[in-house]
Chains A and B, each alone.
Chain A
């Protein structure tokens, strides 16, 4: 039984960690701007594409990785300045539509560049190596993802709690207008938020695509949505919430993928039920349930924003 479940659990934890890194971007942006950044998943995908093209053009891998992270953060910065900043005083619906527009643009741009073909992700040494733990064979990346995720989250929480910019971020997410009046440079705080969020999405892309090995223009859509659900599930605006939510969703999704086999081996069912079809849908069912039952999510504070 355990040996059947364990591989699914393992990949669940791994993909959960990757979702967590993406989810932080959503939750931070939402916390500050009350905006669902629909393009965030696509930035994650673009990070993957940049890696593919950079490695193909002969840049050594050790240099590729920091460059990819840097460029991804830059893209986040530019998107905010171009597509969201002009709409900051507009109705919330406008900014959300703009985010959808950016998502559409990024996907089409990548479609144009790649010709819509699956791109093979470069093999990053060591983390692509196979390892066997507790009898399950997997890639090293699966094992290190949760640890790396937790380390980054701890660093981020320290940043938010113990630095000046972190304090400014907390202030802005509490009360946008007042913090502006208090002399906080709002643009800098928002840009920093986007840079941090997209940087983490860049890290997630390194881990995620090493695992799944191909990138295409739609690769970011599903992980993006799921990460957002994770952020809502954990309580939007809360970083620990997003991380916990992401792990729960990652694990649940992978268990469902293997549920047919698990149930069969446990002798509960005699034939396949085709439940794997629902591995994505489950995430959204979870979303609707949590929104109906506890709209503020697991760790969410009561949001007292201006409607």
Chain B
């Protein structure tokens, strides 16, 4: 067993009466690609938001490389080595591609505002710029570096989000539906790209994804959650054959067939919006981004809009 990167213990998140994530525990080891899947509204993004500090978990503990990060601020957690992308792209819209990536290096600065303003940090600034250029070459966005970020085509914007996340020097990369809205060919390329950057940047990858081809193709292990609760864990092959998973995705008449307990208010008609695992064609082409609108939650007194 290699070194543990992320350890999640009994993580629970409640919004009022709704339990979005219920007693979730998982482990991710160094160098792994681990996927978190589940039907719409299963609590996947909520789990991400707890790991990255956007939400403070109601209960439970998150450990990064042996260090407890539960309840820390998002920026602190990013400094400790977790970077993420967003399901609904959140690029800096007033900036170019280059500036987007460069800005994400800000957290590794040693200058303060005075030395930076009066250009006493020239060496560092040059280094930041050189590293940014190198990174952009690496991910194939160098030619587009002076374009406005939001003028890029959709697929490139997703790529830029990944590049920006990489720019923070993470040891763990969280990808929230990186293939959403991509066509099958782009999705395939993305899979290869994720594997490639994992090797190059010595990363561990944790992703949420609906495109089953992608998930099954690149993941070492998969966690499946439904109604906030883990219903399965294992290699792609194991998960595909798990009856509970099939039930969760296809929907079943008898609720008692499910191993998980049903919170009554959590979800109604969304059953079946997930995809049959047996039909890879359908899953590759038609997987919709999560249908639910943005949901609000209270974090440290500030109101934030975060996708559920």
A residues lining the B interface (CB < 8 Å) = 295, 302-304, 306-307
Mark B265-308 against chain A: 1 for CB-CB distance below 8 A, else 0: 00000000000000000000000000000101010010111000
Min CB gap B294→A, angstroms: 8
- Which residues of A lie under 8 Å from residue B305 when comparing CB positions? 306-307
Measured CA separation A46–B193 after assembly (Å) = 65
**Closest A residue to B296 using CB positions:** A304
Main secondary structure of the interface of A (DSSP, over half): loop
Top 7 A-B pairs, shortest CB-CB distance = A307-B305, A304-B296, A307-B303, A306-B305, A307-B304, A303-B303, A302-B298
Measured CA separation A306–B306 after assembly (Å) = 11
Measured CA separation A304–B293 after assembly (Å) = 13
- Which residues of A lie under 8 Å from residue B294 when comparing CB positions? 306
> B294, B301, B303: which has the most chain A beta carbons within 10 Å?
B303
- Which residues of B lie under 8 Å from residue A302 when comparing CB positions? 298
- Which residues of A lie under 8 Å from residue B298 when comparing CB positions? 302
- Which residues of B lie under 8 Å from residue A307 when comparing CB positions? 296, 303-305
Main secondary structure of the interface of B (DSSP, over half): strand
Show 10 A/B contacts (Cβ-Cβ < 8 Å), sorted by A.
A295-B301, A302-B298, A303-B303, A304-B296, A306-B294, A306-B305, A307-B296, A307-B303, A307-B304, A307-B305
Q: In the complex, which range does the number of interface residues on chain B fall in?
A: under 10
- Which residues of A lie under 8 Å from residue B303 when comparing CB positions? 303, 307
- Which residues of B lie under 8 Å from residue A295 when comparing CB positions? 301
- Which residues of B lie under 8 Å from residue A304 when comparing CB positions? 296
Measured CA separation A306–B304 after assembly (Å) = 9
Min CB gap A289→B, angstroms: 15
Measured CA separation A307–B299 after assembly (Å) = 14
Min CB gap A232→B, angstroms: 16
Measured CA separation A307–B295 after assembly (Å) = 11
Measured CA separation A307–B294 after assembly (Å) = 11
Min CB gap A235→B, angstroms: 16
Measured CA separation A303–B303 after assembly (Å) = 9
- Which residues of B lie under 8 Å from residue A306 when comparing CB positions? 294, 305
Min CB gap B226→A, angstroms: 26
Min CB gap B306→A, angstroms: 10
**Closest A residue to B304 using CB positions:** A307
Min CB gap A224→B, angstroms: 26
**Closest B residue to A306 using CB positions:** B305
Measured CA separation A302–B15 after assembly (Å) = 13
Min CB gap B150→A, angstroms: 15
Given contacts A295-B301, A307-B296, 8 further A-B contacts (CB under 8 A): A302-B298, A303-B303, A304-B296, A306-B294, A306-B305, A307-B303, A307-B304, A307-B305
Measured CA separation A295–B301 after assembly (Å) = 9
Measured CA separation A303–B294 after assembly (Å) = 15
Measured CA separation A307–B303 after assembly (Å) = 8
Min CB gap B13→A, angstroms: 17
- Which residues of B lie under 8 Å from residue A303 when comparing CB positions? 303
Min CB gap A212→B, angstroms: 40
Min CB gap A63→B, angstroms: 49
Measured CA separation A304–B294 after assembly (Å) = 11
**Closest B residue to A177 using CB positions:** B293
Mark B124-142 against chain A: 1 for CB-CB distance below 8 A, else 0: 0000000000000000000
Min CB gap B137→A, angstroms: 36
**Closest A residue to B305 using CB positions:** A307
For chain B residues 202-231, which have a beta carbon within 8 Å of chain A? none
Measured CA separation A295–B296 after assembly (Å) = 17
Min CB gap A176→B, angstroms: 13
Min CB gap A30→B, angstroms: 16
Min CB gap A19→B, angstroms: 28
Min CB gap A181→B, angstroms: 13
For chain B residues 64-106, which have a beta carbon within 8 Å of chain A? none
Measured CA separation A17–B298 after assembly (Å) = 35
**Closest A residue to B295 using CB positions:** A304
**Closest A residue to B301 using CB positions:** A295
- Which residues of A lie under 8 Å from residue B304 when comparing CB positions? 307
Measured CA separation A307–B305 after assembly (Å) = 7
Measured CA separation A304–B16 after assembly (Å) = 13
Measured CA separation A295–B298 after assembly (Å) = 13
Mark B147-162 against chain A: 1 for CB-CB distance below 8 A, else 0: 0000000000000000
**Closest A residue to B297 using CB positions:** A304
**Closest A residue to B298 using CB positions:** A302
**Closest A residue to B16 using CB positions:** A302
**Closest B residue to A303 using CB positions:** B303
